[in-house]
Structure 1
Amino acid sequence: MREFLIKYGLVLAGGAIQGLGMGLFLFPNSIPSGGAGGIAILLNHWFGISDGLALWIVNSSMLLFGVTYFGKRFVLWTIVGITTTSVSIQFFEQFVFIPDRHLIVDLVLGSIFLGIGIGMLMRQDVSNGGVGVVAMIIAAGKEILPGKPLFYINCFVFFVTAAVIDWKIILLAFPANGFPRK
C-alpha cells in the first residue's frame, strides 16, 4: 500500500508540474508542448475548447490505442497523469495571471516545468499520453526507438499549428520539446 501511495503522489505531482509549465507558460503563448499540445491549441483556436479539456480529449483518444499494446495498468496510470495535467492546465489558465509576460522567460520556465513533470511521470513508468503513445506503437511495430516517429509526428503537428496560428511557434516549440535522439 505504501508503494502505491508513493507512486500515486509522484504521478499527481508530475502531472501537476507538467500542467503548470503548459498552462501558465507555454499555452498562453500558443507554444505547443508536443504533438498533443499542438492539436489541443488547434482545437482551442478552431472550436474554443479550453486547452486543458482539449489536451485531455486528445490524450485520452490516443491512449485508447495503447491499451492493447501496453496493458491496462499502464493506461490507468497514464490516465491519472494526463487528467492531473489537464486539470492543472485548466486551474492555471483560469486562476493565475501573469501581468507582464516575456516570451523567452515563459518559454524557458515552461520548458523546465514541462521537463520536470514528464521526467517524474516517466520515472514511474507512466506516459504523459498524446502522440508519444502513437510513436511507441509505431516504434514497436518497426523495431525502432520511439524518438524518431515522435519527432516526425511532432514536426508535422508543429507545422500545421504554425500555419494556422503563427509561424514563430515553430522556433519556440523545438526548445520546449528537445531534438530527436538516436
Structure 2
Amino acid sequence: MKAFLRKNGFVLSGGLIQGAGMGIFLFPHSIPSGGAGGLAVLLHYWFSISMGLALWIVNFSMLLIAIRYLGNRCTLWTMLAVSITSLAVVVLQQCVSLPLNHVWIDLPLGSLFLGTGVGLLMRQGVSNGGVGVLALIISTSRNSLPGKPLFWINSCIFLLTAFIIRWDILFLALLSQWISTKMVDVIYRLDMWSISSTFWRRKS
C-alpha cells in the first residue's frame, strides 16, 4: 500500500507539473509540447477533424501499443497521467494569467516544467502519453535514458508538421524539446527516495 501511494503521488505530481508547463507557458504561444500534438495537428489538417478528437486518437493509439509492450498496469497509470495533465491544462489556462507574457521567458520555464513532469512519470515506468510511450519502450528495451529517443521522435514529427503546414514555430518547438528532454534525463537520474528520506529526517 505504501509503494502504491508513493507511486500515485509521483504520477499525480508528474501529470500536474507537465500540465502546468503546457497550459501556463507553452500553449499560449502555440508551442507544441510534443509529438502527439504535432500528429494531432496533421490529422486536423488532413481530415478536418477537431483538435480534441485528433489528440485523443493519437493518445489512444499509443495506449494500444502500451498494452502490448508495457502491460495493462502501465497503460492504466498512463491513462491516469494523461487525464490529470489534460485537466490541469484546462483549469490552469482558465485560472492563471501571467503578468509577463514573453515567449523567451515562457519557453524555458514551460520546458523545464514539462521535462520535470515527464521525468517523474517515466521514473515510475509510466508514459506521459502520446509518443512518450514509444520513448519509454525504447529506453526500457535498451536499458537507457528516455530523453534522447523522446527528443528524436518528437523532432521528426515537428519537421514533418512544419514541412506540411508551416515553419514558423519549428525552432521554438525543437528548442523546447531539447530543454525538456534534458530535464527528463536529470529527473530520471535522481535518487528520489534518498532525497525524500533526507528531507523527512531533517524535518523530524
Give the TM-score of the pair, scaled to structure 2: 0.72
CA distance in structure 1 between the aligned counterparts of 2:149 and 2:7, rounded to whole angstroms:
29
Deviations 1:45-97 (A, max 9, x none): 754535xx754542232111121111111111111111111111122223323
Deviation at 1:159, TM superposition (A): 2.1
- How do 1:9-158 and structure 2 match up within 5 A? 9-41=9-41, 47-50=49-52, 55-98=55-98, 100-137=100-137, 150-158=150-158
C-alpha distance in structure 2 between counterparts of 1:44 and 1:102, whole Å:
28
Question: Quick one: which amino acid aligns to residue 7 of structure 2?
Answer: K
Q: Find out whether 1:160 has 2:157 as its counterpart.
A: no
Check whether the contact 2:151–2:177 (CA below 8 A) recurs between aligned residues. no
Contact kept, 8 Å, 1:30 with 1:41, in 2: the verdict is no
Residue equivalent to 1:3: 3
Aligned amino acid, residue 67 of structure 2 = V
Task: Output one character per residue of 1:7-33: Cα deviation in whole Å (capped at 9) or x when no partner.
Answer: 112101110100110111112212112
* Residues 119 and 158 (structure 1), Cα distance of their counterparts in 2 relative to 1, 3 Å cut: same
Q: Distance in 1 between matches of 2:106 and 2:165?
A: 18
Contact 2:35 2:157 in 1 (8 A): yes
Q: Distance in 1 between matches of 2:58 and 2:27?
A: 15
User: Runs of 5+ in structure 2 lacking a partner?
Assistant: 183-204
Aligned residues: 178
Greater Cα offset, 163-172 or 102-111 = 163-172
8 Å Cα contact 1:60-1:79 kept in structure 2: no
How far residue 38 of structure 1 moved from its aligned partner, in angstroms, is 2.1
Deviates more, 1:166-175 or 1:9-18: 166-175
CA distance in 2, matches of 1:122, 1:134: 12
CA distance in 1, matches of 2:81, 2:173: 22
Q: Determine if contact 1:37/1:55 at 8 Å carries over to the other structure.
A: yes
Cα distance, 1:24–1:118 mapped onto 2, change above 3 Å: same
* % identical equivalent positions: 53
Gaps of 5+ in 1: none
TM-score in terms of structure 1 length? 0.79
Maintained 8 Å contact 2:151/2:178: no
SS of corresponding position for 1:127: coil
Q: Report the aligned-residue RMSD.
A: 3.0
**CA–CA distance in structure 2, aligned partners of residues 133 and 28 of structure 1:** 25
**CA 55–48 in structure 1, closer or farther in 2 if over 3 Å, else same:** closer
